[in-house]
Structure 1
Amino acid sequence: MTIEKNPDWWRGAVIYQIYPRSFQDSNGDGIGDLPGITSRLQHVADLGADAIWISPFFTSPMKDFGYDVSDYCDVDPMFGRLADFDALIARAHELNIRVMIDLVMSHTSDQHPWFKESRKDRTNPKADWYVWADPKPDGTAPTNWLAIFGGSSWQWDARREQYYLHNFLASQPDLNFHNPDVQEALLAATKFWLERGVDGFRLDTINFYFHDKYLRDNPPLPPEFRNDRTAPKVNPYNHQMHLFDKSQPENLAFLKRLRALMVPYGAAAVGEVGDAERGLQIMAEYTSGGDKVQMCYPFELLQPARVTAADVGATFDQLAAEAPDAWPCWSYTNHDTMRHITRWGLDAQKIRGYLMMLLSLRGSVCLYQGEELGLPEAEIEYEEVQDPYGLVLWPEFKGRDGCRTPMVWTRDNANAGFSTAEKTWLPVKAPHLPLAVSEQEGRDGSLLEYYRAALAFRRTHPVLAHGTMTHPVIQGDTVSFTRDGDERLFCAFNLGPDAAQVALPAGKWRNLAKELGGVDPDAAQVTLPGWGFAILREG
């Protein structure tokens, strides 16, 4: 089946992220795979998502679980074959689900043939495909740049007697985007997947593509401006203003080339902007003008602390100043963050209120697998840790394994229907079993059925996906705004424990979301209970 051609399909789409190692194992080896995803796509269709984003499944030594690519144009055998991916695309399109894949272009694995050739000497054809630099006269690294995973972002290589740049693990060398041949090779890899039928891309670390070609040191970041949105608090990465190791102006021209390549295919891209200080500004730069990427997701709603009404107000104030025309892609959780239910200490009522706000904001939405079940962060013991990030910073930071444990489909076996293996790559934890799909499906009041109903509500009212949005009004713990399009909706959310009154705009308003727990209005106001919400229709 060929899915409907619509170049604006991404605008207001709900995108469901799948972490392939943990979604469904089809062959009993304890690791999820592409046929497993295909077999579970009906779950995504029943949920009501418009698209899936699949984290990397390319050939890789798996030092960073697929984010270290050694072949951009093939499937790692642990996930299947290219034919399995083709079957996945066909089934997804049959269910009217679009498929986005995770492109990791800023760096490769050190096992990639490009890097193996590049590191041989300083004169080979790919000598300049990665970021190489001579040491300072005293033998130390060329700059003071730091890696996300801790320590210097420069690694000494004895063969070339030079350092190479790695913004993540030392086994993830950075590509040199200043070399036109590198850009051509990456665009060719992108086209390979477009020809195979993908509908778009999630662009990993989109602002890390280019580095400062003059290799200038980053200045220190004053302590009062440090936060832990990009890296954990204990990571010295937060001590620098990252002016020169990422987010360079040359990136704009490359993103235009990437957009031009996608246009004939009707494909779209969402970029991950990893920048704690300038995330919204960078999003504005990357999505403006209609000739770069369609959308980006900043880290404002992915923050460690619970999002408050004041946070929402500050985010939209900055959006209005920096990126009034940008199209955000909002999310609360993903494969790199502690699950927001644990991170923010949410109970069932709070989960529902925050979900309805997420689905009501102008922009697209990313949901992470298991979010619809209310999965909390899994407690991982040190001997179970797989994530290299956790191994480096344990125990102050336990890594990202707690949000990556397998999906729970049934309650009737130790692996929750995920795998028949004796041992899975990460364990299924007992607290997750009562939350399995089988335990919630068809049950009134379950979180899964609430998510399904909430996504159906958004589809029934397209103004929530495509309409304009007034600037949020923040009063105490409340957030309110109007969505305008083929109908006019007033949306109000209480992000605090105490009841609060919100004044209504002029007009007659009626409760549109009663079945979802939305509150009835009074004549001129709506009284929201703690953590309550109202979505009202004019007329």
Structure 2
Amino acid sequence: MTVDIITKDQNSLWWKGATIYQIYPRSYCDANQDGMGDLAGITSKLGYIASLGVDAIWISPFFTSPMKDFGYDISNYRDVDPTFGSLDDFRALLNTAHALNLKVIIDQVYSHTSDQHAWFTESRQDRTNPKADWYVWADPKADGTPPNNWLSLFGGKAWSWDSRREQYYLHNFLDSQPDLNFHNPQVREAQLENARFWLDMGVDGFRLDVVNFYYHSKGLEDNPATPTDEPKTLAVSSDNPYCLQRHRYDISQPENLEFLRDLRNVLNDYPNTTTVGEISADDPLVIMSQYTSGNDKLHMAYTFDLLKEHCSADYIRGVISTIEERIGDGWPCWAISNHDVMRYTTRWGNNEGLHFSRVAVAMLMSLRGSVCLYQGDELGLPEADVPYDDIQDPYGLPFWPKYKGRDGCRTPMVWSDSENGGFSEVKPWLPVDKRHLALSVDQQENQLESTLNSIRQLIAWRKGQPALINGEIEILSDEGEMLLWTRTCAEQKLLVALNMTGDTLRSPLTVGIKSLLTGHGFHGSIEDETIVLGPYEALFAEISD
């Protein structure tokens, strides 16, 4: 009986310390040759994904949508957009992934819908229909202006006028993405039912888009200005006026916690499932702690703290220290790239290539928490250069040229060095950056020390290090460019040393060493009680008791 309990518990915690591979379906593989990726294309590449050694895939939205925000504007939560295929295509993907021992996590966008969703079509008709209170509606001020100063993350006011109801509706993003009113219990239950639909189909969990955006303050109070002596937060681009407010009333409301408990109760009915929430807030690490602690809300969450432009050792240490001070029994999930930010090789590594890519991923995989790798991270792809005439992202156009939007990280995955990178036989929806072709999967597969094979090696090696999967973390040095910490669990005690610079670094050895670990592909050394790391090198060692 004891063995059965342990096995069940371990399986239910598969997500803890897991490596999750994010797929942006529009750009992964085009099976039907229409220039856009699809679910059948993903299914055809699941063998490759399994060969990376990852534990799960996370698929960005593939639901019915007018695609004004490329799937994050959903018009039907329970169907597949024809761009990506059908529900049968998704079932085939799910079955194939599970046969390859890959878990499947799908995006859920609960805070808002498309303005073409049937709920909003009904809600906007008048103020008395059954769904009149399903969205956030408000009367204008006496002078006809919006009810408060809230801003849209995508630029401009967060309120749009609707002449039928003679009211404004709230949209934290595009005006075609109206916000749902989570103060209405019917809205909450509808979204829980949507979760059950996909769990019944067999998905292994959800990535929850903007998980702290579900509720707004009923009082509709004005947000305060960001103090001039405090850093701007939240928006990807500091030129976005969204940064000029502290978002005290429009997001991160206390009622959110109760909905997350309700959602967790739903998942508890489906063993071995998980949630990972995306948090964008003025103080995201505090929200991460609140949302993942207590084992009754999110299983894990990630923030944009390692998705910013900074890469100094001081900054990374500061992020780790802050989350460790605040998260308690919660669990973080870390990423250095995703579909919303410039690729890490450009943002942090100035396109240094293999050596930086490898050590950056080693840093990610050495943190306490789970790991998300974005498609192309394993190839070390730089941010693509997308000409203005080819820009598709509605977030990029208003802030061009200082901020060029998210298209540069969303260009097609490169499978070969042929035209269009083997993604499609026809012109893709975004152009393939010619620099990517030499970094394609086919080009890297047979190079023993390619970025692809180096990261494969890292993922496989990490699986055998229990301290890196679920151990505690302690920073050893709070100064200098070398990153030094320990990871400790009952089975293993590890020293981790990382050099993310192009210079040779040295640091005194302050712990006893039992043995240097090999098999990870790095060549750091210890000389005369000193850790020596060449450019973009690392060292892993077992610590003596």
Q: Deviations over 1:174-216 (max 9, x none)?
A: 0000000000000000000000000011000001000001100
Return the match for 1:114 from 100, 119, 122.
119
SS in 2 for 1:469: strand
- Distance across 2 between alignment mates of 1:402 and 1:262: 35
* SS class of match (1:243): coil
Whether contact under 8 Å (1:492, 1:502) holds in the other structure is no
Change (3 A) 1:308 1:472: farther
SS at match of 1:283: helix
Structure 1 residues 40-68: Cα deviation after superposition (integer angstroms, max 9, x where no partner): 01111011110000000000000000000
- Select 1:477's aligned residue among 448, 461, 481: 481
Return the alpha-carbon distance in structure 1 between the equivalents of residues 351 and 514 of structure 2.
Answer: 30
What letter is aligned with 2:391?
A: V
Residue 397 of structure 1 is matched in structure 2 by 403
Distance 2:327 2:58 in 1: 25
The answer to whether 1:178 aligns with 2:165 is no
1:364 maps to 2:370: yes
Q: Deviations over 1:260-309 (max 9, x none)?
A: 1011212111100011x31000001100100000111011111123x111
Matched with 1:325 is: 329
Provide the C-alpha distance between the structure 1 equivalents of 2:289 and 2:513, rounded to a whole number of angstroms.
Answer: 36
Distance 1:409 1:14, change over 3 A: same
Residue matched to 1:316:
320
Q: Deviations over 1:230-258 (max 9, x none)?
A: 33111100000000000000000000000
* Aligned residue identity for 1:262: L
Residue type at the aligned position of 2:308: Q
Deviations 1:297-337 (A, max 9, x none): 011111123x1110122112212332233211111110000
Give 3-state SS (helix, strand or coil) of 2:438's partner. helix
CA distance in 2, matches of 1:463, 1:93: 27
Equivalent-residue separation in structure 2 for 1:505 and 1:327 (angstroms): 28
Letter in 2 for 1:159: R
TM-aligned CA deviation for residue 229 of structure 1: 4.9
Any gaps of 5 or more consecutive residues in structure 1? none
Contact residue 61 and residue 68 of structure 1 kept, 8 A: yes
Q: Which aligned pairs between 1:154-233 and structure 2 lie closer than 5 A? A: 154-227=159-232, 229-233=234-238
* CA distance in 2 between partners of 1:508 and 1:338 (Å): 38
Alignment correspondent of 2:138: 133
Show the counterpart of 1:60.
65
What is the distance in 1 between the residues matched to 2:513 and 2:283? 41
1:351 to 354, 357, 381: 357
Q: In the alignment, what sits opposite 2:539?
A: 534
Q: Distance in 2 between matches of 1:518 and 1:96?
A: 32
Unaligned residue ranges in structure 2 (runs of 5+): 1-6
Counterparts of 1:220 and 1:81 in 2: how far apart (Å)?
A: 46
**Separation (CA, whole Å) in 1 of partners of 2:405 and 2:359:** 28
User: Which residue is equivalent to 1:253?
Assistant: 258
Does residue 82 of the first structure (1) align with residue 124 of the second (2)?
no
- CA distance in 1 between partners of 2:256 and 2:450 (Å): 45
Which of residues 43, 48, 51 is equivalent to 2:56? 51
Alpha-carbon deviations, 1:102-121, whole Å to 9, x = none?
Answer: 00000000000000000000
Q: Does the CA contact (< 8 Å) of 1:509 and 1:521 recur in 2?
A: no
**Residues 226 and 239, structure 1, Cα contact 8 Å, conserved in 2:** no
CA contact (8 A) 2:162 2:169 kept: yes
The answer on whether the counterparts of 2:232 and 2:244 sit within 8 Å (CA) in structure 1 is no
What one-letter code is carried by the residue in structure 2 that aligns with 1:319? Answer: I
Q: Does the 8 Å contact 2:25/2:60 carry over to 1?
A: yes
Q: Which residue of 2 aligns with 1:338?
A: 342
After superposing the two structures, state which structure 1 stretch, 461-470 or 111-120, moved more.
Answer: 461-470
**Contact map agreement 2:135 2:169 (CA 8 A) in 1:** yes
Quote the Cα distance in structure 2 between the aligned partners of 1:513 and 1:357. Answer: 16
Q: How many residues align?
A: 533
Asked if the contact 1:518/1:534 (under 8 Å) is kept, the reply is yes
Aligned to 1:416, what secondary structure does the other structure show?
helix
Q: Does residue 462 of the first structure (1) align with residue 440 of the second (2)?
A: no
Name the % identity. 52
Matched, 1:442 2:435: no
TM-score of the two chains, using structure 2 as the length reference: 0.95
Give matches, 1:509-528, under 5 Å. Answer: 509-513=514-518, 516-522=521-527, 524-528=529-533
Please say if 1:94 is aligned against 2:99. yes
How far has the Cα of 1:529 moved from its partner? 2.4
Cα distance change of structure 1 residues 416 and 506 upon mapping to structure 2, 3 Å threshold: closer
2:36 matched residue in structure 1? 31
Q: Distance in 2 between matches of 1:321 and 1:44?
A: 35
- Show the counterpart of 1:388: 394
Is the Cα contact below 8 Å between 1:207 and 1:246 reproduced in 2?
yes
Query: What is aligned with 2:244?
Result: 239
Using a 3 Å threshold, how does the CA distance of structure 1 residues 229 and 127 change in structure 2: closer, same or farther?
closer
Partner of 1:424: 428
CA apart distance, 1:514: 5.9
Compared CA separation, residues 177 and 156, structure 1 to 2 (3 A): same
Check whether the contact 1:204–1:272 (CA below 8 A) recurs between aligned residues.
yes
Picking from 19, 23, 34, the partner of 1:18 is: 23
**Which of 401, 410, 416 matches 2:416?**
410
Distance 1:327 1:525 in 2: 33
Distance 1:207 1:249 in 2: 9
Aligned pair in 2 of structure 1 residues 63, 233: CA closer, same or farther (>3 Å)?
A: same
- Is 1:377 matched with 2:403? no
* Residue 263 (1) aligns with residue 268 (2): yes
